[in-house]
C-alpha cells in the first residue's frame, strides 16, 4: 500500500552545516552527540571523508568521525590529519593531538589559523619535545599554548574557556571553508583515493572495503 504522506526530503548540505554551527563549539568531549538524528543525513551527503569527519565532529559524534580519520594518516590527506588531531584534542588525548598538529603545522590551512612560525618558535618547540610522550610539537607557539590550555581545562582550570572556544571555533570554521572550496559538496561515492596509510600510499588495493551508508547504496573506502 502506498503511503498518503509524501517522503521527507533529505537535508541539504547548507541545512546540515547551519544546524551544526548552531551547536556549542567542540572543545572537549560530551557524553553523546548533539543530535543523533543527524548522523545518517551527514553520511548520505557522501562528501570527501575528511569533510564528512569534520561535520561529525561538529555534531560531537566522535565514533563516526573516528571511522573516517583512521583511514587518512599521512600526506596528501593533510586535512584529515589535522581533523584527526582535533578529534584527539576533544577526547583529551593531548599528546596525540600535539603530534597530529605537528605533522600539519606547515600546511597552508593550518597557518591560516595559527600563523606561520618564526625561527624562535621552532627552536622553542624543538627544546620542549622531550616533555611530551610523542616527541612531537607544532612549531607555532599559539597552537602549543592552545593545546596546553585545553588540557588544563580538562584538569579543572576553566579560566580561559571562552577564549579557547573562540580558537576552537576558528579552527573548525576555517577547515569548513577550506574543505568546501577544495572538495566541494557534490557526492563522492568512491572515496577510496582518500584512504592513505602511513607511508603516503594512496593506492589502497587490498585496504579497500565497502560500507553501506543508506538508500544510495555502497560507498567505497
Torsion of CA 42, 44, 45, 51, to 10 degrees: 50
For position 215, what pLDDT does the model report? 36
Are 192 and 220 spatial neighbours (Cβ–Cβ below 8 Å)? yes
55 within domain boundaries: yes
Are 91 and 62 spatial neighbours (Cβ–Cβ below 8 Å)? yes
Could you tell me the pLDDT band of residue 207, with boundaries at 50, 70 and 90?
A: very low
| Better-predicted residue by pLDDT, 10 or 39 | 39
Q: How far is 89 from 106, CA to CA, in rounded Å?
A: 19
Query: Is the pLDDT assigned to residue 10 strictly greater than 90?
Result: no
How many CB atoms neighbour CB 141 within 10 A?
A: 18
Residue pLDDT, tens place only, 83-94: 999 999 999 999
10 within domain boundaries: no
220 within domain boundaries: no
160 within domain boundaries: yes
Could you tell me the pLDDT band of residue 181, with boundaries at 50, 70 and 90?
A: very high
201 within domain boundaries: no
Tell me the Cα Rg of the chain: 18
Query: Is the pLDDT assigned to residue 188 strictly greater than 70?
Result: yes
Domain residue limits at 98 = 36-189
What's the mean pLDDT in 93-113?
96
Are 210 and 220 spatial neighbours (Cβ–Cβ below 8 Å)? yes
Could you tell me the pLDDT band of residue 72, with boundaries at 50, 70 and 90?
A: confident
Are 33 and 61 spatial neighbours (Cβ–Cβ below 8 Å)? yes
The greatest distance separating any two alpha carbons of the chain, rounded to the nearest whole angstrom, comes to 72
Query: Is the pLDDT assigned to residue 217 strictly greater than 80?
Result: no
What is residue 72's DSSP assignment? B
Are 82 and 101 spatial neighbours (Cβ–Cβ below 8 Å)? yes
For position 124, what pLDDT does the model report? 93
Report the number of secondary-structure helices (H) and strands (E) in the chain: 10, 2
How many CB atoms neighbour CB 31 within 10 A?
A: 5
Percentage of the chain lying above the pLDDT 90 cut? 63
Residue pLDDT, tens place only, 11-21: 999 999 999 99
Torsion of CA 163, 166, 168, 170, to 10 degrees: -140
218 strand-pairing partners: 212
122 within domain boundaries: yes
Distances (CA, A) of 103 to 1, 44, 108, 136: 56, 30, 13, 8
Look over the chain and give the mean of its residue pLDDT values, rounded to a whole number: 84
Are 36 and 46 spatial neighbours (Cβ–Cβ below 8 Å)? no
| Better-predicted residue by pLDDT, 194 or 187 | 187
For position 63, what pLDDT does the model report? 93
Are 175 and 69 spatial neighbours (Cβ–Cβ below 8 Å)? no
Residue pLDDT, tens place only, 31-48: 899 999 999 999 999 999
46 within domain boundaries: yes
Are 218 and 211 spatial neighbours (Cβ–Cβ below 8 Å)? yes
For position 132, what pLDDT does the model report? 87
Q: How many domains does the chain have?
A: 1
100 within domain boundaries: yes
Query: Is the pLDDT assigned to residue 149 strictly greater than 50?
Result: yes
Amino acid at each position: 500500500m502506498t503511503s498518503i504522506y509524501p517522503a521527507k526530503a533529505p537535508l541539504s548540505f547548507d541545512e546540515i552545516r547551519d544546524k551544526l554551527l548552531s551547536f556549542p563549539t567542540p572543545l572537549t568531549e560530551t557524553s553523546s552527540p548533539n543530535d543523533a538524528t543527524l548522523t545518517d543525513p551527514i553520511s548520505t551527503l557522501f562528501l570527501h571523508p575528511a569533510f564528512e569527519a569534520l561535520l561529525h565532529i561538529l555534531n560531537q559524534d566522535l565514533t563516526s568521525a573516528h571511522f573516517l580519520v583512521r583511514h587518512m594518516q599521512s600526506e596528501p590527506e593533510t586535512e584529515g590529519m589535522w581533523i584527526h588531531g582535533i578529534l584527539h584534542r576533544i577526547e583529551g588525548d593531548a599528546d596525540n593531538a600535539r603530534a597530529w598538529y605537528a605533522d600539519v603545522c606547515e600546511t597552508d590551512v593550518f597557518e591560516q589559523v595559527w600563523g606561520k612560525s618564526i625561527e624562535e618558535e621552532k627552536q622553542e618547540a624543538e627544546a620542549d619535545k622531550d616533555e611530551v610522550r610523542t616527541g612531537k610539537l607544532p612549531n607555532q607557539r599559539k597552537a602549543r599554548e592552545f593545546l596546553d590550555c585545553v588540557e588544563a581545562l580538562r584538569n579543572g582550570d576553566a579560566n580561559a574557556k571562552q577564549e579557547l572556544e573562540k580558537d576552537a571555533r576558528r579552527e573548525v570554521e576555517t577547515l569548513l571553508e577550506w574543505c568546501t572550496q577544495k572538495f566541494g559538496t557534490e557526492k563522492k561515492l568512491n572515496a577510496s583515493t582518500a584512504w592513505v596509510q602511513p607511508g603516503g600510499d594512496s593506492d589502497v588495493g587490498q585496504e579497500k572495503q565497502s560500507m553501506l551508508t543508506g538508500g544510495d547504496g555502497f560507498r567505497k573506502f
